[in-house]
Amino acid sequence: MFKLLKVTGNSMNPTLLPQDLVLVSTKYKSFCAGDIVVFNSKTAGLIVKRITQFNSGVVRIRGDNPRLDSSVCNQDLDSKRILGKVIGKWRNPYRKKAGESKTLLKT
């Protein structure tokens, strides 16, 4: 199955920008370091991050923007909370200013 989600936030800059659309495949069950995934965080909801480590059901994730960090970064997380893998992205050439669109996916 596939999901199309809109990115908000700057933690994945320059790879993903606010209002980019990402296509997420939920059929992937195997992941590795370097994959960009959508993670269902208990505290932040759906977030998109890059996997830095994946071992025996435990994953570590982070954003691509070195200036920003998240409360879910750099800690052991349950890989079962991964919704899916980002397999495509589309940049919105008619990007609205921050705060003008509904939040669908936090980075």
Q: What is the pLDDT of residues 79-96, one digit of tens each?
A: 999 999 999 999 977 766
For the cut 60, the answer to whether the pLDDT of residue 30 exceeds it is: yes
Per the domain annotation, does 104 fall within a domain? no
Per the domain annotation, does 27 fall within a domain? yes
Domain extent, residue 35, equals: 2-90
Domain count of the chain? Answer: 1
Domain of 74: which CATH number?
2.10.109.10
- Single-letter code of the amino acid located at 20: D
Per the domain annotation, does 63 fall within a domain? yes
What pLDDT sits at residue 69? Answer: 82
User: Which tokens hold the place of 24?
Assistant: 């997420």
Determine the Cα–Cα distance for residues 7 and 32; give it in Å rounded to an integer.
Answer: 22
What does DSSP say about strands 45-55 and 36-41: parallel, antiparallel, or unpaired? Answer: antiparallel
Per the domain annotation, does 82 fall within a domain? yes
Greatest Cα pair distance in the chain: 42
Q: What is the pLDDT of residues 38-97, one digit of tens each?
A: 999 998 899 999 999 999 889 999 999 999 888 888 899 999 999 999 999 999 777 666
Q: Where are the beta strands (DSSP E) in the chain?
A: 2-6, 21-25, 36-41, 45-55, 58-62, 77-78, 82-90
Report pTM: 0.84
Q: How far is CA 42 from the centre of its chain?
A: 14
Residue 94: CB atoms within 10 Å: 5
